[in-house]
Structure 1
Amino acid sequence: MNTPVPSHTPARLTRVPALAAAVCLLVSGCSALGTAGDDADAADGSGGGMRVALVTHGGQGDAFWDLVRKGAEAAAAKDGIDLTYTSDADPAAQAGLVRDAVRDKVDGIAVTLAKPAAMRGPIAQAKAAGIPVVGLNSGIDAWRPSGLLEYFGQDESVAGRAVGDKLDDLKAKHALCVVHERGNVALEARCAGVKKTFGGDTENLYVDGTDQDAVTAAVASRLRQDSSIDEVVTNGAQFALSAVKAVGQAGSKAEVATFDLNKDLVKAVQRGDVQFAVDQQPWLQGYLAVDALWLYRTNGNVSGGGTAPVLTGPAFVTKANVSAVARFAAAGTR
């Protein structure tokens, strides 16, 4: 969900047979998923020259999107896929990247739908070209109307409502929901979900997610203006860390909670600087999206039957259970 810095940096991934074999051992039955009809070498886990494009709205160097990409790379290595990752936070530019993939005649496309309207045209072009397209991370309410084959991610409205309930349990009274990208459907759904179930007051604060110093300043300013705010809810791990700074600068007693997780945020939860995080498992989203395209090509499989999303969250990470996540975060997969 996080998009602090627009980027357009394609990176082609080559096959890694040894890693593919190692990962395959960890995935039950992965060598038996192919069929003889589609690919002569599908049965041994090879994509047979299959090329997949993963196109997101993420920013270059963003730890969240690094996790998505790492998951996609692991699936590509296992399946013998030639994977290309590109991203751009600008919806028109992201749409252009999808069109580039269509022109390149890839065998499958995985795409995020942070701004669904911008993606309708390129997705239609992909379908017309016979290229299967799956969704991940953003656009859970838009993937079926957009004509995508499958979707992997978190129901952001459900996650938001769960956070609202959690804040009630924590006896919070006034929540500030920080939105770092105006118009991003996932972020808006989260904050709307919080407002729906939280018994206290909820207000949204829109900030420039491309500038962390500006985020800190904006949150600190609002906390100084209203001392009744006792909870800051951010929509990304790095923004939570900025909010922690803002609380200190403002001399506020507000607590900080967040959607999304990374290794630095895990440490913040361990220290008690952040009350809790909602983990949507971005590594898993990237992995499942790429693997789904391989499964569709080699065995005609469609996760969720093409009618239901495959949910990867929400999962709450608190000081009580963070140790179970910490070792995976340190390894760069959570």
Structure 2
Amino acid sequence: MVRSYLPRSRRIAPALAAAVAAALLVAGCSSSGGEKAEDAKNDVSAGQADTPRMTVAMITHAAPGDTFWDTIRKGAEAAAAKDNVKLIYSSDPSGSNQANLVQNAIDQKVDGIAVTLAKPDAMKNVVAKAKAAGIPVVGFNGGVDDWKEQGLLEYFGQDEYVAGKAFGRKLNDAGVKHDICVIMEQGHVALEARCKGVKEGFEGKTDVLYVNGTDMPSVQSTITAKLQQDSSIDQVVTLGAPFALTAVKSIADAGSKAKLATFDLNKDLVGAIQDGDIEFAVDQQPYLQGYLSVDAIWLYKTNGNYSGGGEAPVLTGPAFVDKTNIDTIAKFAAKGTR
């Protein structure tokens, strides 16, 4: 974990996250998004909150088939089950379509909205409409540099630039000379910040490679072609677990000796780290992001509580996962919570 060079407000944020998470173990079960409570319990075991039923909309920029978001949704459903919340989950990778989903939530007069700001300019106006309608809005996962400007109540996630710099320094320690940073969605502020951080933290050469993240065969062939074109590349950096697993195939196809590391984690990636196919991953704890986002709205509506005082984001990462700690993480990943 890298914290020493953060301003004071950001250094205290992880402690805030831990305090909030500890306070939330009052647990329970309920229906969430129309699904049975059993699908959302995730180790919460006490009673459902004895508070009026409320509805929370969670809108993300998830692309179809990206399993990262299953973990976020699982955390959100667990919080909804505990808090007697009806969760309405929807997603779209298009900024304009995501804004339309927020507008739909406003029209439904939900009690709160949790939203990602991967494309902040596309979301600005509709977030303002939600606030004007008296609906509290919290941000998570994407938008750490924009949530305050847009007036969101709280933010839960990882500072992607900080995580990227830490990643770059880890490459220095490994003796890497030339990496490619693979971005699967051009213009996505969090992904761009990751690669910017890697480039600035790394002492060698970084090339940014854009791929079409909605077409995995194309991702594989594009990475393969880049490795075949430039044999000096000794490190591949991917920004999501499914893309890392695809890049394993690309490296083999290219006959390359490049190493591979990634941002984000899932249970399939755990095995790849254990087998040595992937060196390490940065875990931003998506389950925690989903859980805290829903629970934050419940806390605000119930008690007027909000984390960070409206000034500091609550950081959920970066945490590095490699062979030294993967066996501990594996048992949680098997449950879909890491």
TM exceeding 0.5 = yes
Q: Which blocks of at least 5 consecutive residues in structure 2 are unaligned? A: 1-31
**Could you tell me which residue of structure 1 aligns to residue 160 of structure 2?**
156
Secondary structure at the aligned position of 1:58 is classed as coil
Contact 1:20 1:79 in 2 (8 A): no
Amino acid at match of 1:13: G
**Could you tell me which residue of structure 2 aligns to residue 63 of structure 1?**
67
Q: Which among 107, 113, 118 is matched to residue 109 of structure 1?
A: 113
Query: What is the CA RMSD across the aligned residues, in angstroms?
Result: 1.7
CA distance in 1, matches of 2:123, 2:93: 13
Q: Which among 325, 331, 334 is matched to residue 335 of structure 2?
A: 331
Amino acid at match of 1:202: T
**Could you tell me which residue of structure 1 aligns to residue 33 of structure 2?**
12
Residues 1:129 and 2:150 aligned together = no
CA gap 1:320/1:99 in 2 versus in 1, 3 angstroms: same
**Could you tell me which residue of structure 1 aligns to residue 44 of structure 2?**
23
Deviations 1:13-41 (A, max 9, x none): 3574997797264xxxxx8xxxxxxxxxx
Between 1:52-61 and 1:153-162, the stretch displaced more is: 52-61
Q: Which among 273, 290, 299 is matched to residue 269 of structure 1?
A: 273
Q: CA deviation at 1:60?
A: 3.2
Contact 2:40 2:77 in 1 (8 A): no
CA gap 1:19/1:330 in 2 versus in 1, 3 angstroms: closer
**Could you tell me which residue of structure 1 aligns to residue 11 of structure 2?**
none
CA distance in 2, matches of 1:192, 1:180: 14
The 5 A counterparts of 1:41-56 are 45-56=49-60
Deviations 1:59-82 (A, max 9, x none): 233210000000000000000101
Residues 1:231 and 2:252 aligned together = no
Secondary structure at the aligned position of 2:165 is classed as helix
**Could you tell me which residue of structure 2 aligns to residue 309 of structure 1?**
313
Contact 2:154 2:307 in 1 (8 A): yes
Contact 2:288 2:316 in 1 (8 A): yes
Deviations 1:211-264 (A, max 9, x none): 111111000100001100000000000100111100000000000000000000
Secondary structure at the aligned position of 1:199 is classed as coil
Amino acid at match of 1:62: D
Contact 1:52 1:81 in 2 (8 A): yes
Secondary structure at the aligned position of 1:52 is classed as strand
Contact 1:178 1:205 in 2 (8 A): yes
Residues 1:243 and 2:264 aligned together = no
Amino acid at match of 1:313: G
CA gap 1:14/1:331 in 2 versus in 1, 3 angstroms: closer
**Could you tell me which residue of structure 2 aligns to residue 80 of structure 1?**
84
Q: Which among 319, 323, 326 is matched to residue 323 of structure 2?
A: 319
Contact 1:15 1:76 in 2 (8 A): no
Percent identity between matched residues is 61
Q: CA deviation at 1:45?
A: 1.4
Secondary structure at the aligned position of 1:13 is classed as coil
CA gap 1:255/1:97 in 2 versus in 1, 3 angstroms: same
Contact 1:153 1:312 in 2 (8 A): yes
CA gap 1:251/1:19 in 2 versus in 1, 3 angstroms: closer
Secondary structure at the aligned position of 2:220 is classed as helix
Q: Which among 176, 180, 183 is matched to residue 184 of structure 2?
A: 180
CA gap 1:293/1:161 in 2 versus in 1, 3 angstroms: same
**Could you tell me which residue of structure 1 aligns to residue 297 of structure 2?**
293
Residues 1:204 and 2:208 aligned together = yes
CA distance in 1, matches of 2:38, 2:169: 46
Contact 1:17 1:80 in 2 (8 A): no
Query: Normalized against structure 1, the TM-score is what?
Result: 0.89
**Could you tell me which residue of structure 1 aligns to residue 194 of structure 2?**
190
The 5 A counterparts of 1:26-41 are none
CA distance in 1, matches of 2:103, 2:50: 26
Secondary structure at the aligned position of 2:75 is classed as helix
Contact 2:40 2:74 in 1 (8 A): no
Q: Which blocks of at least 5 consecutive residues in structure 1 are unaligned? A: 1-10, 26-30, 32-43
